[in-house]
A = this chain, B = another copy of it.
């Protein structure tokens, strides 16, 4: 494995908290295959069996699905150093739900399922990271489903903030996701989310600073989701 790849893989959330020495030791036990792709390449297809975990070392891919009318819908963007579909790898139905398209030149490694099991048994931190990665996906998708009951983006965002405020027991809410990830959660493009953020701020309902949102008018937010 080239040293630039070793540096890149150490940045992946799955290896977070593992020091260089442990890392060297772990990498001895596995034989990751490095793959490279040009922009526009299709890395894997929707419906492919997913038997090796892909970890992006460089670049960015989009995850797309094709619906029955043949229309292509972009689901999310995945960036280095993310692992791709860590949950699906071990699902009984381990077919990829998306097609992966290179948005930038890609360098990735692929780790066999058996190697993942070996790494997890050897290293407790890796094990915990893997559980977290998959668990975070469950939490994200479950939240996305809860938000489907709201019709508009305004309602989704208001409902989401009120829920977080309840959870964090504060009117000063810390957003757990980046703006990009939030847009994906709400199923909208980023500019739409920015517009809604500005609207709510202009109306004096919230104050936004990076990942911190201060709820200024809780009654007003509640009125968005329960207009009666």
Q: List residues of chain A with CB under 8 Å of any chain B CB.
A: 47, 65, 67-69, 87-95, 97, 117, 120-121, 124, 127-128, 130-132, 134-139, 141-146, 148-149, 159, 162, 166-167, 176, 222, 225-226
Q: Is the CB of B121 within 8 A of A117?
A: no
- Which residue on B lies nearest to A148, using beta carbons? B148
CA distance A65 to B166 in the complex (A): 14
Q: Is the contact region of chain A dominated by helix, strand, or loop, or is it mixed?
A: helix
Known contacts A89-B135, A138-B88, A166-B47; is-contact A145 B145 (Cβ 8 Å): yes
Q: Is the CB of A146 within 8 A of B97?
A: yes
Q: How many copies does the complex hold?
A: 2
Residues of B with C-beta under 8 A to A128: 90, 117
- Nearest first, the 8 closest Cβ-Cβ pairs linking A and B are A87-B138, A90-B131, A91-B135, A141-B141, A90-B135, A87-B135, A91-B139, A134-B134
